[in-house]
Structure formats: structure tokens, C-alpha cells
Amino acid sequence: MPLPYVLLSAAVSLDGFLDDTGPERLLLSSPADFDRVDAVRASVDAILIGAGTIRADNPRLLVNSAERRAARVREGRPEYPLKVTVTASGDLDPDANFWHTGGEKLVCTTDEGAERAARLLGATADVVPLGPVLDWRTLLEHLHDVRGVGRLMVEGGGTVHTQLLQQGLADELQLVLAPLFVGDPAAPRLFGPGPYQGGRLRLTETRRIEDVVLMRYEPTAPGEGPAVTAADRHWLRAACELAALCPPSATAFSVGAVVVAADGTELARGHSREGDDPVVHAEEAALAKTDPADPRLAGATVYSSLEPCARRASRPAPCAELILRAGPRRVVTAWREPDTFVAAADGTGVLRGGGAEVVVLPEFEALAKAPNAHLTG
């Protein structure tokens, strides 16, 4: 059963706490990071929080930028993402901000919790009983199949993040480390005890945002990560070297891409702004040289020095979409797209949502970034 792409988002103190024990919510992020979170919210179909966070923080969970909301509407999406909460008790305050701001609201709960939630909330929200106990996979299937959620952002609290990670259901963790200590053992922790799936997480990006640091991780599957061969390293290096051929630009990245059949035959290669086209992207240029009827495309891998784009102003279809249409279901890249030109770029999410495997080989990041040094600072 397909599930939504699940992105966990949290801010944490240096000593690993999500909040203090005071009545007010502890502000961990910086203003620019709150704006980054706003962009991520604008990029998703639904935002989920635990009922504990509604009780503790009384959040609104809005997309605050009118511009981002307008862009959603232009793309045919609802102005605000669906707001989802989980509860076993059904003990929800009908006056909480959650119910009176933003878009549609959904309560995912147990059969018992549903009675109480429906009684307390009336027509304010859809209340969905998901069985005698709440199973996360069932919840995610419901969001995907019934509510059409392709991308889900989870904004806590700790008990929710812990369960999703421990059950291997998180695709990405966006963690912001704030330069302060809480120091109170009674404060809520980000991650609780218990068995976690997989081993070391894969670090896909670090970014300084004012005085906080954003770290993006991908949990790895139990056992080893995705299978990576010597051929993958060879072709990704070739893609990174192609990036150096791009005419320089102050407004776009220099990227190289190679499309390689399963038997190791190179099908095409391309780089940004190739030929006479000032806006063409590397993957797009490479795919344009393939024969759409070539049966080898379905089993091919696209090697791209930068994560394929998820959105672009200059063309109707972003590269992640072009790859899915052309057939390949495997992408190997060196570097996740930073939000230099597009906020909350997430080609990986689009590709995975379309059933493709995306492998990031960070050992090639420096090589891929070299022709972009003037853009990345």
C-alpha cells in the first residue's frame, strides 16, 4: 500500500528538549527558521501533530505567507494544508486555535476516542475512528488513500516523532538545533527510549540559519542502506564533471546528468544551459536526447550532480516529473537542493512519491558544489 512521504520537523535545545515546563511555548527557532518552516508547510498536503501539542502549545499551524498560499491556490491545491491530530483519549478542547484557523481539520483516533472527540467537537472537524487502537500504518494509509495526502509534515510532539521513527515510517527528519539549554528533566524530550529501526541516519544537509542549525537526515533501512555499486560512483562522478562544462550563471545551478541503462550502457548525458538554451536543466537536456520509446529507460538510472528539481519557474514540468514520465525509477545524486532559488525544494519527495528510489552519495557533494561555489557561499 502506498504511504505518504513523511517528513518529521522539530526544533530542539542543545540538551535535547522540545520545550520547557513553563506555561508558554519555548521559542527554540529563529525568525528566519520559522519562515523556512512556513515554506515547508506550504509544500505539503497535510500537517500532523499529537493531541499533547494542541493542549500544551495551542498552535494554529498556518501557512503565514499570503504569497505562498496564493501559489498553492494557483497550483490547484487548497489554500492551507489539511490539519491532522492524533488522540487516543478524544480529549480535545473545542476552543483550541487548531479548530478555528486554516484549512480542513481531521482527528485520527480510536473507536473509543472517536465518541468523545465527536461529542466535544461537533461539526468543527472530521473524526475518524481507526480501530480499537491507533496503528500508524493504518493512519498513513487513510491519509494517502482517503484524503489524497502525498506529502505529510509532522510537527511533533516527541511521542509522535518517536513512534514514527521507531516504526520505520519516517522518510526524512528536519531537525533544528537551538543554542540554548532547558536543563529541566521534567521537560518533554524529542525522542524517547525504545528500539529504533536501522542504524546511523544519513545526513543529507546542514544549513546555518541565523543562530540555529538545520540538519536534514534520512533514516536508513534496517541492515545496510540502499545498494550502491562502483558503477554508481563512476557515473555520478561523470555527472559532477559535466557540471563544470555549464556556462556560468548567477541565477541557476550548474548541474550535470547522465542516463544509464541497467546493463551499464550510457543512454544520454546533459548539462545545465547546454547548447543555445539558457534555461535548460541537466536532466531535461539528457532526457531530451533519449528515444521515449526506448524500453531501456524504464530500468535506467539517472545520475545527477544535484537533486532533480521539484518546481521551476522557467518550464511547466520540473525534472523530477520529467524523470518519472520518461521511465527511470532510480536516481543517484550528490547533493540535496538548497533553497537558494526555490523554497523547500524536494525533488526527492516527488520522485519517491512516484515510486522511484533516490540515493544520495554525499562523498561527491564537494565535487558537485565546486562549479556552484559563487552561489553557495
By CB under 6 A, residue 19 contacts ligand NAP: yes
By CB under 5 A, residue 331 contacts Zn ion: no
By CB under 5 A, residue 280 contacts Zn ion: no
Pick from 8, 44, 46, 51: which binds ligand NAP (CB under 6 A)?
Answer: 51
Question: Cα angle at 68 between 65 and 72, to 5 degrees?
Answer: 140
Coil, strand or helix at 258: strand
Q: What is the phi-psi region of residue 358: left when phi exceeds 0, alpha when psi lies from -120 to 50, beta otherwise?
A: beta
56 binds, among ligand NAP, Zn ion, none (CB under 5 to 8 A by kind): ligand NAP
Distance CA 14, CA 107 (A): 32
The CB-of-117 to ligand NAP minimum distance in angstroms stands at: 9
Is the CB of 57 or the CB of 171 nearer to ligand NAP? 57
By CB under 6 A, residue 89 contacts ligand NAP: yes
By CB under 6 A, residue 210 contacts ligand NAP: no
Annotate 262-325 with DSSP letters as a single string.
Answer: TTS-EEEEEETT-TT-TT--HHHHHHHTS-TT-GGGGG-EEEESSPPPS--SSSSS-HHHHHHH
Coil, strand or helix at 153: strand
Residues with Cβ within 8 Å of residue 241, at least 6 apart in sequence: 256, 367
The CB-of-8 to ligand NAP minimum distance in angstroms stands at: 10
The CB-of-88 to ligand NAP minimum distance in angstroms stands at: 3
By CB under 5 A, residue 212 contacts Zn ion: no
Cell of residue 154, nine digits:
509532522
Pick from 165, 267, 309, 356: which binds Zn ion (CB under 5 A)?
Answer: 309
Pick from 3, 42, 261, 319: which binds Zn ion (CB under 5 A)?
Answer: 319
Helices (H), 44-95: 51-57, 66-74
149 binds, among Zn ion, ligand NAP, none (CB under 5 to 8 A by kind): none
By CB under 6 A, residue 18 contacts ligand NAP: yes
Coil, strand or helix at 254: coil
Cell of residue 288, nine digits:
531530451
The CB-of-283 to Zn ion minimum distance in angstroms stands at: 6
Is the CB of 271 or the CB of 281 nearer to Zn ion? 281
Coil, strand or helix at 338: coil
By CB under 5 A, residue 281 contacts Zn ion: yes
Positive or negative CA dihedral for 207, 213, 216, 220? Answer: positive
Distance CA 346, CA 248 (A): 24
For ligand NAP, the binding residues in 289-348 under the rule CB under 6 A are: none
- Which region among 38-46, 97-105, 148-156, 311-319 touches Zn ion (by CB under 5 A)? 311-319
By CB under 5 A, residue 311 contacts Zn ion: no
Q: In the complex, which residues of this chain contact Zn ion (CB under 5 A)?
A: 281, 309, 319
Q: In the complex, which residues of this chain contact ligand NAP (CB under 6 A)?
A: 10-11, 18-19, 25, 28, 49-53, 56-57, 86-89, 91, 134, 155-160, 163, 188
